[in-house]
Amino acid sequence: MAIRMKLVAAAAMLALGAGAAQAQDKLKVGFIYVGPVGDHGWTYQHNEGRLALEKEFGDKIETTFVENVSEGPDAERAIERLARDGNKLIFTTSFGYMNPTVKVAAKFPDVKFEHATGFKRADNVSTYSARFYEGRYVIGQIAAKTSKSGVAGYVASFPIPEVVRGINAFLLGARTINPDFKIKVVWVNSWFDPGREADAAKALIDQGADIITQHTDSPAPLQIAAERDIPAFGQASDMHRFAPDNQLTAIVDNWSDYYVSRAKAVMDGSWKSQDVWGGFAMDMVEMSDYKNMPDDVKAMAADTAAKIESGEIHPFQGPIKKQDGTEVIGAGERLSDEVLLGMNYYVEGVEGDLPQ
């Protein structure tokens, strides 16, 4: 019965023309995900943001998502489909959707687009990202306090500035505690590939790393760390349940507040194209509960996070040296956002060459 009603309604809309479809008072919001909702990492958190929208606005909002959208030729179609389906606000949640998002946005000027981690904007395209490096600095300090060998293993995805910045922030944090701290990096060239992520973690541990951190989206490296009983950090979401005795903390991406504020802006007509890069201060990045570590380390981590939030500490404060020893900035200076956004070098202490 309900279906028949819907069909009748659909037919009526077709008969009345496309304009009728817009007469509804519900705001339709669409999401494009790069991974599966169940990755328990990046996409999982974006989906949490979507659920927060539903919770906040109830029946005033309708959300849909498409998951596992490859960053190639399919992306444009998936985004366009959401736009054609009457979504007035569309979140495209991976860097690779940048050009398709801009292309589709030009075709649908009355639809608002929000693209995560990109740099191209338009009148109806905003960009947003989070300063995950703030969290990386904190876990770098924890790692240096916890590790006996002074070597951390880093499971990395792609050598883009976002990831390189995270590696450097981790190391700079660690070196405030142990000036000889080192990082070994393995690139798995994927955001989500539990098999390869696990293999990378194993290789790193075999090479002497006694603490594991990751910039990939599955809990696999954490699970390997638990298997080998060494400490590790969760990524993007609190992965505590995958390694209850080994996760020290996790850098949690919190998109919920931002998504709610942007949906509200569309509803009351105040939406404007903007670029947001939020960190601890905006609650876009949060640390999950500190566990499996002594109280003094907990206190230190909480203190550092608070100081970053207040601006007292900046993770990229000089002196900073590149891998080859050349100085980037001197003592007291801070790297600008522009430099951070294009970061393509390792700082001193990271082992191996950055794939270029």
Partner 1 sequence: MRLELVPRAERSTAMALVSPVIAIGLTLIFGVVLFASLGVNPARALYIYFVEPLTKAWSLEELVVKASPLVLIAVGLAICFRANAWNIGAEGQFTAGAIAGSVLPIYFPDFQSPVLLPAMLVMAMAGGALYGAIPAILKNRFSANEILTSLMLSYVALLILDWLVRGPWRDPGSFNFPESRLFNASATLPLLAEGGRMHVGILFGLIIAALAAWRLGVSVHGFAIKVTGEAPRAARFAGFDQKRIILAVFVIAGALAGLAGIAEVSGTIGQLRPEISPGYGFTAIIVAFLGRLNPLGIVIAGLLLALTFLGGEAAQITLGLSDKVTRLFQGFLLFMILACDTLIAYRVSLKFGHRAAGVTGTADQKMVSNG
Helix 132-146 × helix 161-175 angle, to 10°: 40
Interface of this chain with partner 1, residues 79 to 98, rule: CB under 8 A:
80-82, 84-85, 95-96
E strand or H helix at 129, and its extent?
strand 125-130
Among 1, 3, 23, 331, binds partner 1 (CB under 8 A): 3
Q: Can you tell me the distance from the alpha carbon of 316 to that of 319, in angstroms, rounded to the nearest whole number?
A: 9
Residue 59 is inside which H or E element, if any?
A: none
What residue has token string 């649908």? 108
Please state the closest distance from residue 38 (CB atom) to partner 1, in A.
9
Q: Which of 54, 158, 292, 334 binds partner 1 (CB under 8 A)?
A: 158
Task: Give the binding-site size for partner 1 (rule: CB under 8 A).
Answer: 38
Question: Which stretch, 74-82, 230-238, 261-269, 311-319, contacts partner 1 (CB under 8 A)?
Answer: 74-82
Q: Are 248 and 142 in contact (CB under 8 A)?
A: yes
Of the candidate spans 66-74, 243-251, 297-305, 313-321, the one that interacts with partner 1 by CB under 8 A turns out to be 66-74
Do 342 and 336 meet the contact criterion of CB atoms below 8 Å apart? no
The reply on whether position 55 binds partner 1 by CB under 8 A is no
> Scanning residues 5 to 44, which ones bind partner 1 (CB under 8 A)?
30, 36-37
Among 172, 343, 347, 350, interactor with partner 1 by CB under 8 A:
343
Q: Closest approach of Cβ 309 to partner 1, in Å? A: 26
In the complex, the smallest distance separating the C-beta of residue 340 from partner 1, rounded to whole angstroms, is: 10
Least distance (Å) between residue 43 CB and partner 1: 12
Name which of 84 and 184 has its Cβ closer to partner 1: 84
Say if residues 259 and 52 touch (Cβ distance below 8 Å). yes
- Would you mind telling me the total number of residues written for the chain in this entry? 356
One DSSP character per residue, 182-230 reads EEEEEE-S-SS-HHHHHHHHHHHHHTT--SEEESSSSSHHHHHHHHTT-
User: Which of 12, 51, 160, 306 is close enough to bind partner 1 by CB under 8 A?
Assistant: 160
| In contact, 191 and 216? CB cutoff 8 Å | yes
Rounded to an integer, what distance in angstroms lies between the CA atom of residue 221 and that of residue 226?
9
**Mask of contacts with partner 1, 209-248, x by CB under 8 A?**
----------------------------------------
Q: What angle do CA 164, 236, 256 make, to 5 degrees?
A: 120
Binding region for partner 1 (CB under 8 A)? 3, 30, 36-37, 64-68, 70-74, 76-78, 80-82, 84-85, 95-96, 99, 107, 119, 158-161, 189, 341-344, 355-356
